[in-house]
Structure 1
Amino acid sequence: MRIFAHAADLQNLRRTAEVLSMSQPAVTQAITRLEEELDCQLFDRNSAGSLMRPEGRVLARRTELMFQQIEAALGEFGVPVRRADTATYQITRSQIRALTEIARSISFADAARKAGLSTVALHRAARDLERNLGKQVFVAGQSGFVATRNAEQLARRLAVALREIDWAVDEIAQVRGHRGGTLRLGAMPLAGGFLLGRALDEIMRHYPAMHAVVHTADARELTTRLRRGDLDIVVGMNRPQLETDDVVQEPMVFSPFVVIARRDHPLTRKTEVSLDDLSEFDWIAPTFGSTRRGVFNSLFARMSKPPIPKVETNSLTTIRTLMSVSDRLTMITRFEFEFEHGVADFQILPFEQITEGNAIGVIQRRNWQPTALHLKFLDILRQQTT
């Protein structure tokens, strides 16, 4: 990648070899190997030089972004500027993989297994990384090396940098007419699931060869995965505390919460439902720590004996099943209710408006450069929430 970056800048393999103090055949061999791995031609070679093809321009842009992020991450880690400039091109994929797996794993042996390396090879890669950076990255733990706290941040930044090459591969395929690519998505319970199903169905009409991987978890877990590059986009409720220096939220629709019950519930026969009425029935409450749970708690905060829910879940399937066979109540946003055409056999109770609500939208990494597939998917989400 270092050789390609210089060749893309100079567009002349002979001059690239001179700058890197390499032989021209070695440079040519490296570029040829890269083209074989990508199954495409990156340059049109002639006597005047090597002009980049569209595929080459895509890879050059992503490669530049990758090296910029690596250099910035090393600078943030405290590597001196001059050394960081050199280390940016000396660091290897195996060294980054060693760091990221050690930072994520519960033991050194577990990290070696996940990295697909022997413990000896992982140890060597870890030590080589420390020599390249001239700083301590690992400390001895009970089960082998563990990353220092600052190194965990470095691991996250480097893992995101390497994803640029994955996106380059997708974009090169799209340049060549392949309507594919990969979406790595996070879906928060309820809100994320409501939006994702239809959006995925629509995006596959435009990109029939695409592949989507959807992970469902709570907001904190999904944001952690997003920050370390495992996910590209998280869909669900926006929360102020989730936004950090490297994560940004885009609200797409704001919707208040409503109380719902099955259609033949006793409270559906009333023209007006009071707080006392609601407290007489069992509730399916959101889990602790969620925005919904905060709204639920504040709704009954002024009561001396608020309802004590026997079930706490954010699973729509569980909620639907329990409510369809009982008089239990729950709370969702009006948007979720309307988006799912009334959530099957349930209806909104005539209870006073719950003024508290939250924005539903997406979370992305700040300054991220999405592919055309990502941009189209985001456009579909925006259209569906308009």
Structure 2
Amino acid sequence: MLVSRHLENFLALYEARSTHEAARRKGISQPALTSSLKLIERAAGGELFTRSARGLEPTEAGTALHRHALAIDQHARFASMDISTVQNRLGGRIRVGVGPVLAVSSFPDVVVRFHREFPDVAIDVESGISSQLVDRLGRDQLDLIVTARPTRPMSDAMIGLPLFRSEMVVVCREGHPLTAGLPVTPDALTDYSRVGFTEDLEFEEHSRSMSHWPSERLRPILQTSSISVMFGVLAATDHFAIVSHVLVPKARREGLVRLDLTEPLWQIEVEAFCKTSLSGSRPIKALQSILSDDPPLTFE
């Protein structure tokens, strides 16, 4: 099904050198085979065979097409085998791991859109920090994870599929003292305590990369993997948090505001990671498309 039937008919003719024999091998009538040959000759712009006492003889163009047709046929057969293997491995279920930020922001909509396209494929979703998701992916306990690129190297058997860039922003409670003097400088943040995510190694890495960002003075007073806990603490205190921009709508619903800073913070590349052998499957490609900026996800 992955190769044009006209190309398959051409290969049958090339190998049999007889319309009668090629039609027999393909299980079609000779008129249908002749019609197929004429169609592919029109596409090629010239004759592919000439007739002789010995049967059909390929022209120079026919010989050239045969080389390419064989390669196309071989690749298609390998693709068919890979797809069959992937589908058998996935069965009717795909296991996905996402970070806590996506889990409470855009991913529920992703699941809904995925099920519209694959109503018969069950999807298991679990949330966790990046290091946990990478470990579970490596142990074949997950088929796909969506996270910022881990700081440690990934296995050669894994592939990263680019999704979108996540801008980091500062959120705090409405009426926080910092909201009175906008825009806010990085130094002003150090007068207050930060609430951070558990094992947030990316924060340390990116904060150190900024030339004058006071990362050493921004160590978290509280670490959590729960967005609800984080936002609850922020709403009741003068603490602040540095989070992905995808959380801003939820933060607003919880009575929090995004601070206007004198300089932008860093961006994080969010990717989907899976086994290379699974990356070409339709469910994986569909999830990548839904999660990426094309079509865009609406965060604000």
Q: Pick the TM interval, shorter chain.
A: 0.5 to 0.7
**1:37-95 deviation per Cα after TM superposition (whole angstroms, max 9, x unaligned):** xxxxxxxxxxx9xxxxxxxx9xx836985xxxxxxxxxxxxxxxxxxxxxxxxxxxxxx
Shift of 1:363: 1.1
2:225 is equivalent to residue 319 of structure 1: no
**1:271-303 deviation per Cα after TM superposition (whole angstroms, max 9, x unaligned):** 221233211212102333521243456679865
Counterpart residue number, 1:288: 199
2:159 is equivalent to residue 236 of structure 1: no
CA distance in 2, matches of 1:277, 1:63: 55
CA distance in 2, matches of 1:208, 1:229: 24
2:270 is equivalent to residue 381 of structure 1: no
Shift of 1:193: 4.4
Alignment of 1:124-273 (within 5 A): 165-167=88-90, 170=91, 181-191=92-102, 193-239=104-150, 241-273=152-184
Give the 3 Å change call, closer, same or farther, for CA 275–211 of structure 1 in structure 2. Answer: same
TM-score (norm 2): 0.61
Higher relative contact order (CA 8 A, sep 6+): 2
Give the 3 Å change call, closer, same or farther, for CA 304–221 of structure 1 in structure 2. Answer: closer
Task: Among all aligned residue pairs of Structure 1 and Structure 2, give the percentage whose two residues are the same amino acid.
Answer: 18
Counterpart residue number, 2:188: 277
Instruction: Determine helix, strand or coil for the equivalent of 1:190.
Output: helix
Assess if the C-alpha contact under 8 Å between 2:105 and 2:246 holds in 1. no
Shift of 1:261: 0.8
Q: 2:257 aligns with which of 329, 342, 347?
A: 347
Gaps of 5+ in 2: 1-24, 26-76
Instruction: Determine helix, strand or coil for the equivalent of 1:185.
Output: strand
Counterpart residue number, 1:372: 282
Assess if the C-alpha contact under 8 Å between 1:237 and 1:359 holds in 2. yes
Counterpart residue number, 2:46: none
Q: 2:81 aligns with which of 56, 61, 64?
A: 61
Q: Which moved more, 1:294-303 or 1:202-211?
A: 294-303
Shift of 1:235: 1.0
Shift of 1:240: 5.5
Gaps of 5+ in 1: 1-47, 49-56, 66-162, 171-180
More helix by share: 1
Instruction: Determine helix, strand or coil for the equivalent of 2:229.
Output: helix
Alignment of 1:71-82 (within 5 A): none
Instruction: Determine helix, strand or coil for the equivalent of 2:137.
Output: helix
Counterpart residue number, 2:45: none
Q: How many pairs were matched up?
A: 220
Between structure 1 and structure 2, the one with the greater Rg is: 2
Shift of 1:368: 2.2
CA distance in 2, matches of 1:293, 1:349: 20
CA distance in 1, matches of 2:251, 2:213: 33
2:268 is equivalent to residue 358 of structure 1: yes
